[in-house]
C-alpha cells in the first residue's frame, strides 16, 4: 500500500496531457482574416481577366448577326430567353424583313408569329417594329453608333446598346447581364445589384480597351462553368482566385459533369459560330 503512494504523488505532479491542457487552457480567438484592400482586389480582378483570356481565347458574342441592325434586333429579342432560341428564330425573321424599312412596314401579326419562340412576342414585336421605324425615320435606316442615340430607341437599354457598340462598331462597352452581375459579385469586385452601378464599378477596375472582351469572357465563364445554381468549382481554372470557391461542386470528377457547351462537349448557342470556335454549331429550330 505504501509503495503506491509515491506513484500517486508523481501522478499529481505530472504535467497535464495535451487533451487535458486543451480543456484547461484559455480559449484563443482566431485572428480575423485581413480584409482585402482595393488595390489587391483590382490586381486579383485583372489576373482573373488574364486567366479567362487563356481559357476562352475564342470568346465572342453568342448571337448570330451579319450587320448592326441584325445584332440590335437579336439583342432585344434575347430578353428573358436564351441566345440559342434567338439564333434559331432570327433566320426566318431577317429573311422576311432584312432592313429597318422592311420591318417597320411589316404586319405585326406576321412578326409575332415569327418571333413567338422567343417568348413575350407581343411586347417584343412592338419594340423591334418601333426601333425599326425610328431607324427609318430618324437615322436614315442606319443603326447609330452612339450610346445616347441607341438608348432612345424602343426596347433598347444600356446593356443592349453596349452589346451593339462593342460588337458591331468596335466601341468598348461593358455588358452587364445576369451572368456578368452574378460572377462579379461572387468574385467580390462589387456588391452592387443595379446593372448601371455594376457597370460603373467594373469600368474603374479595367482599362477601356478590355471592356468588350472582358464582358464576353465573364459571360462565357458564367454559362459554362460558374453556373447560378451549381457552380462547377472543382473544374474551375480560376478557383484559386475565387472568394466563393466551395459554393458549388468541388469534386473534380463530379464538377466535370456540370460543364456546358464546348466545355462539356455539347453544341454552342450559335448556328453560325466564328471559325475559331472549338465547339459544335447549334442546331436549327426544326432540329432543336
Catalytic sites, residue numbers: 159, 177
Angle of helix 121-138 relative to helix 108-115, nearest 10 degrees, comes to 120
Give 163's DSSP letter. H
Give the closest residue to 71 by CA, choosing from 143, 154, 179. 143
Question: 48: burial class by Cβ within 10 Å (0-12, 13-18, 19+)?
Answer: buried
Question: 212: burial class by Cβ within 10 Å (0-12, 13-18, 19+)?
Answer: buried
Cβ-contact 79, 120 below 8 angstroms: yes
Give the closest residue to 274 by CA, choosing from 220, 214, 232. 220
Q: Would residue 119 be called left, alpha or beta, if left means φ above 0 and alpha means ψ between -120 and 50 degrees?
A: left
Cβ-contact 129, 96 below 8 angstroms: no
- C-alpha 195/C-alpha 175 separation (Å) is 9
Amino acid at each position: 500500500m505504501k509503495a503506491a503512494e509515491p506513484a500517486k504523488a508523481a501522478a499529481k505532479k505530472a504535467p497535464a496531457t495535451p487533451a487535458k491542457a486543451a480543456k484547461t487552457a484559455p480559449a484563443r480567438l482566431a485572428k480575423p482574416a485581413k480584409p482585402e484592400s482595393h488595390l489587391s482586389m483590382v490586381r486579383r480582378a485583372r489576373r482573373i481577366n488574364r486567366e479567362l483570356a487563356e481559357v476562352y481565347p475564342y470568346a465572342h458574342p453568342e448571337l448570330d448577326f451579319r450587320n448592326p441592325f441584325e445584332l440590335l434586333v437579336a439583342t432585344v429579342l434575347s430578353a428573358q430567353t436564351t441566345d440559342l432560341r434567338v439564333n434559331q428564330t432570327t433566320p426566318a425573321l431577317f429573311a422576311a424583313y432584312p432592313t429597318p424599312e422592311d420591318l417597320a412596314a411589316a404586319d405585326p401579326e406576321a412578326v409575332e408569329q415569327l418571333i413567338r419562340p422567343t417568348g413575350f412576342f407581343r411586347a417584343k414585336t412592338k419594340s423591334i417594329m418601333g426601333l425599326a421605324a425610328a431607324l427609318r425615320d430618324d437615322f436614315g435606316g442606319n443603326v447609330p453608333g452612339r450610346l445616347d442615340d441607341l438608348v432612345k430607341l424602343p426596347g433598347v437599354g444600356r446593356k443592349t446598346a453596349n452589346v451593339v457598340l462593342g460588337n458591331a462598331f468596335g466601341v468598348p462597352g461593358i455588358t452587364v447581364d445576369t451572368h456578368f452581375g452574378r460572377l462579379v459579385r461572387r468574385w467580390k469586385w462589387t456588391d452592387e445589384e443595379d446593372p448601371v452601378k455594376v457597370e460603373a464599378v467594373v469600368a474603374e477596375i479595367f482599362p477601356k480597351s478590355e471592356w468588350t472582351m472582358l464582358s464576353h469572357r465573364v459571360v462565357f465563364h458564367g454559362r459554362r462553368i460558374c453556373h447560378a445554381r451549381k457552380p462547377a468549382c472543382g473544374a474551375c481554372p480560376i478557383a484559386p482566385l475565387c472568394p466563393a470557391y466551395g459554393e458549388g461542386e468541388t469534386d473534380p470528377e463530379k464538377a466535370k459533369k456540370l460543364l456546358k457547351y464546348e466545355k462539356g462537349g455539347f453544341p454552342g448557342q450559335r448556328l453560325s459560330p466564328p471559325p475559331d470556335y472549338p465547339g459544335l454549331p447549334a442546331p436549327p429550330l426544326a432540329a432543336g
